Structure 1
Amino acid sequence: MKYNQIFNYYKVLVPFIHEILGENSEILLHDVSSPESSIIALSGNLSNRKIGGPLTDMALKQIKEQKYLTSDYVANYRSHTTDGKLCRSSSYFIKDDTHQLIGMLCINVLVSDLVDMRDQLTKLIGLTSFPIDNTPTVSEIIADEPEKLGQNIDELMASLIDSTLDHYPSMTRELSITDKEDIIADLSDKGVFLLKGGVAEVAKRLEMSEPSIYRYMAKIK
């Protein structure tokens, strides 16, 4: 089956799933061949994204770690909108006839209000020391670092790079060769170099040449 036929099939599911889940949901279809402009269909508006928007940090990580090779989907992990609202998110991996990843169908459900209601009920019950239930709460599900929904490509790249550089000296001249190797390895794991312009932006931030970045990347493969 050709790519456009596969995507046309999933495009029909996007509004269908949204209508089932309701207004507190957001459904997105991604073409992963263009990570920086991957959104090709969406319904709902939790994160104010539009057609042509990028993949999220979590989606990039899932692709980089090749989770699609061992699973058809990843379900029920935490995500946050840009205004801090908590969501429960899931991603379905879309593969071609050769089992190569070509797209992702992502579902986000707003749960902030439900969590607030749960917390209020817990206070009203007043049995905080009583072991009522050992089931993990939504805020404890799967992801140690929640997915960030709604970032544009510049915000996404800056966020990914900043989250790594925050652990190192702020002055690039103070970075050792080992530091640079570790930084570039971490950014590679996060999928930064899958994004168009990723190498150039990292080179700019680290005050290095692009060929130098490629040489470091070659070492970590």
Structure 2
Amino acid sequence: MTSKNKALETYIPIANLIAQTFGKNCEVVLHDLSIPQNSVVYTVNNHVTGRQVGQPFEHLIKDVLLSKNFENDCTANYRTTTIAGKKIKSSTALLRDVKGEVIGALCVNYDLSPLNDMKILLDEFMDTQQEKIEANVEPFDNVIEIVEDLINKMIGNSSVTTLKRKDKIELIQFMDKKGVFLIKGAIEKVAEKLNISKVTVYSYLDAIKKSENE
């Protein structure tokens, strides 16, 4: 501590506490604004930005005092970048003496680089694609064969000739929910296997939609 202002010494435990709480990526800098050209009087974890005792303040006016977020003597969570290209999340609070005069500033600088790498990893991991499938999709390669096999299994061992209308509607409703009829030619396949006309399948689908909307 190089400041002659003894009042600023009371903030050293606070600076240490903040740095110890948030770890090695958290730098805390204490400024004595009575000596602007050499305002830095105390640092913790100064490897984050490289701030050295005896240096002047950098962002106090532009990013703190002139910020639209400056309120109650502080500006929190503004972004700065070091010469080395590190992205830093910074917060600064003014320090006043018993007379209410500004005597210094306490700055917290957090290195976002490790978190940014984690964010990229999480973004890649959480990336998903939601494809909107329209009706009458032309199937690729053997898709229609796979779906036809699924249709056969949905019908199962039921005797088509003995299936009641209600049972056929329930079966078609299940197929519809599973996306069977999105595939081009599926309605014709189902009509053939249930021994009903294509028009009947359409009428069942209309009845199902009407029932679901009621």
TM-score range, shorter chain: 0.5 to 0.7
User: What SS does the corresponding residue of 2:125 show, helix, strand or coil?
Assistant: helix
1:12 is the counterpart of 2:13: yes
Question: Higher Cα Rg: structure 1 or 2?
Answer: 2
1:118–1:67 distance in 2 versus 1, CA, 3 Å: closer
Do the aligned partners of 1:86 and 1:112 also contact (CA within 8 Å) in 2? Answer: yes
Point out where structure 1 has 5 or more consecutive residues left out of the alignment: 131-221
Matched with 1:39 is: 40
Partner of 2:123: 122
Secondary structure of the corresponding residue to residue 84 of structure 1 = coil
**Residues 1:106 and 2:104 are matched in the alignment:** no
Q: CA RMSD in A?
A: 2.8
Counterpart AA for 1:110 = D
Letter in 2 for 1:55: F
Equivalent residue letter for 2:128: L
* Separation of aligned partners in 1, 2:86 and 2:19: 19
Aligned to 2:93: 92
Matched, 1:25 2:18: no
* Equivalent AA in structure 1 for residue 15 of structure 2: V
The match for 2:53 is 51
Percentage of matched positions with identical amino acids: 30
Deviation at 1:96, TM superposition (A): 2.0
Once the 2 structures are TM-superposed, how far is the Cα of residue 69 of structure 1 from its aligned partner?
8.5
Give the structure-2-normalised TM-score. 0.52
Which structure 2 residue ranges, 5 or more long, are not aligned? 132-214
Q: State the distance in 2 between where 1:17 and 1:88 align.
A: 14
Contact 2:96 2:103 in 1 (8 A): yes
Pair 118,103 (structure 1): closer, same or farther in 2 beyond 3 Å: same
Measured after TM superposition, the shift of residue 64 of structure 1 is 5.6
Alignment: residue pair count: 127
**Aligned position for 1:166:** none
The 8 Å contact of residues 68 and 101 in structure 1, kept in 2 or not, is answered as no
Asked which structure has the greater RCO (Cα within 8 Å, sep 6+), the reply is 1
> 1:12: how far off?
2.5
Name the aligned partner's letter for residue 17 of structure 2: F
Q: Can you list the C-alpha shifts for 1:78-111, whole angstroms capped at 9, x where unaligned?
A: 1212111111111111012332221100011111
The 3-state SS of whatever aligns with 1:107 is strand
Deviation of the 1:41 alpha carbon:
0.6
Q: Retained in 2: the 8 A contact 1:27–1:108?
A: yes
The residue aligned with 1:74 is: 75
**Distance of 1:100 and 1:66 partners within structure 2:** 20
The TM-score with structure 1 as length reference comes to 0.51
CA distance in 2, matches of 1:129, 1:76: 34
